[in-house]
Each structure stands twice: as C-alpha cells, then as structure tokens.
Amino acid sequence: MGGAVSAGEDNDELIDNLKEAQYIRTELVEQAFRAIDRADYYLEEFKDNAYKDLAWKHGNIHLSAPCIYSEVMEALDLQPGLSFLNLGSGTGYLSSMVGLILGPFGVNHGVELHSDVIEYAKQKLDFFIKTSDSFDKFEFCEPSFVTGNCLEISPDCTQYDRVYCGAGVQKEHEDYMKNLLKVGGILVMPLEEKLTKITRTGPSAWETKKILAVSFAPLIQPNHTDSGKSKLVHLPPVAVRSLQDLARIAIRGTIKKIIHQETMSKTGNGLKNPPRFKRRRLRRRRMETIVFLDKEVFASRISNQSDDNNNSEEMEEERREEEEAKPPELKPDPPVNFLREKVLSLPLPDPLKYYLLYYREK
C-alpha cells in the first residue's frame, strides 16, 4: 500500500508532501510526524527507501505506508490524556507518534504477536528517548508493549478511548474489536478491505465511516494449546505516577513556559537580518569588425588565434566573477535544545539536573 505522494529527500519533505496531498490535516498530527524520523525505524541497509510513500516489510518487521499512518492518526482524533491501544504495534513507530500527543497523563499500550518485533520496538523506543531532541519538545507518553495475539486479550481488561488495529479484521471479529472501546471512543481498523472508523456513541450504539480502500494482511487466528485453551493476553496495568515523577513533569513544564516567554520577548525586540542581494553582472559583448571597401560595406567577424584565446580567458574570468558574486551557502544551524541548556544552567546538583533530563545521552 502507498505511493499516493511523491518521495521526499528527508523526513520533513515527506511530511510536506503528505500535507500538500491532504493526508495530514491538523497541526498536532503534523508535529508528531515531524518529531520522529521515519528512517530511524528502518534497518540500516533499507534506509534509502524510508521517505517513499510505501510500506516496508523485512521478516516480521513491518511499517505501513506514510499515507496510511497519516489517515489513521487523523481519524483517531487524539487528545492529551486519552488511553490508546495499538493492536499489532510492530516497530512502535505509530505508538511513539501517538505518545507525543497523549502527553504524560495518557495511556499507551501495544500488543504484538512476534517477540523479535517487540525487542526491535523497545530498541527503537530507547534510541528515541536517549538521543532525539524531539523528546524534550513534548511531554511523552511512553508506550508499553506486550507479546501475544490481539484476538486473545483477557476479557477483564480495561477499555480504551482509542484503538487501532494494524491488520485486516474479518467481519466475524468486528464486535470483539468494538468491545475494546469506551463509550465515546474511536476504533480505526482495516475492515473488509476498507480502512474504517467506528465511534462508540453509546453502550450499544455505533457510527461507522469508511475512510479509504486498503490492503492489509489478515489477523492471524489464535493457535490453541494442546489443552484446547487459548493463552490470554494481559495488558499492562494503568500505572499511577509517583509524586517524584509528577514533580519532574511540573518543573519541566514551568521551564518550558519560561523559555517560551524569553523567546517571545527576544523575537519582539529583535531585528531581522537584512536581505541579501546578488551583484548584477555586466556581460561583455564581442565587437564585430566593420570593413569599408570602396563604397561597399562588409560586416564580418574576423577571427584569429588571439581572439579565441581572449574569448576563453574572458569566459573563464566571467565564470570566476559569477562564482565570487554568489552568496556563500548558509548551512542551517543545528537545532538548539533550549530545555536542556536551561536545565544544565540551573544552580542545581548534577544528579537532579540529569533526573530532570531523564538521564538522556544527547
């Protein structure tokens, strides 16, 4: 699936193309897509294809096309503080983007059939937390992944505000999926070759909307044990944050507000850099030779070796002048992690500074 938009040179250009094609329509979704580089979820040898609007699969590792993830994120109508369940969570790419929107008081759970993919997702999550500056621009709801078949979730599990299934759902499993939702919740899943949005409007009332035609591999049916009983999947408990963690969230939030106020103050009083102008070039013109003979006038170009040499020299000189006239290419400065800089400048013991920064490497 995919190929709805042109390939990008980098993650930002891919997002620009998705916006232009109206797959990304809201600011929250755009921010989440820009914050996490899709290439980080590819194996190194396949990264050249990361910014194409195509699905990617290698063994059990799978990523849907960017246009599909865009439609899913928009359809879920995510808000801070909601609970989210990702069925077939895969690499964790989608769960991490969702976590940027849910914020510190959301719930972010994933169920994945393959244990090797769970391990891969945890490695990618750890890499994002430790190295990406985007982590400090958001308050992140870290996803938790469990191994198992999403058709075997324990019946006593909690219900969720938002649910996404990343595999084709057979009609016989539609009600099972619906029952994972709270009233008012939204379920997005491929149902009968259509990406479908189902909103639970009451205890037994639903609204259904078909979004677009898709082709997903179907859900894998449970493999019962020798005793004939299925192995139930128990989702992570909804944890209550510690007082220490709440203090960290509050302090980081206050520092971000201070940074925002300082930035607004500087922007309001600062002067923009004057625009650059290219020096206008005057091209030399070759003079034609006019010959008067008796009463006739002949216009001709007399060419000789010295003229050719002069022509080459003039062209070379023009090329040099054009090169000199070009303004130097200004490489963009690397983004500044203002939160990190501000925390490190505070008169606090180093262990407390590192705690406020989640002990991140970058």
Which positions are annotated as active-site residues? 64
Assess contact for 95 and 86: CB atoms under 8 A: yes
HSE-CB at 102 with a 13 A cutoff on CA atoms is 25
Other C-beta atoms lying within 10 Å of the C-beta of residue 138: 17
Give me the residue label for tokens 């002069």.
310
Residue 98 has φ and ψ, to the nearest 5°, of -60, -40
Q: Can you give the length of the chain in residues?
A: 362
Which residue in 149, 196, 192 sits closest to 169, CA to CA?
192
CA distance 73 to 205: 23
User: What is the DSSP code (8-state) at residue 335?
Assistant: P
Q: For residue 260, what are its two tokens? A: 């925002």
Helix ranges, 77-205 (H): 93-102, 115-131, 134-137, 174-178
HSE-CB at 112 with a 13 A cutoff on CA atoms is 25
Which residue in 194, 192, 197 sits closest to 163, CA to CA?
197
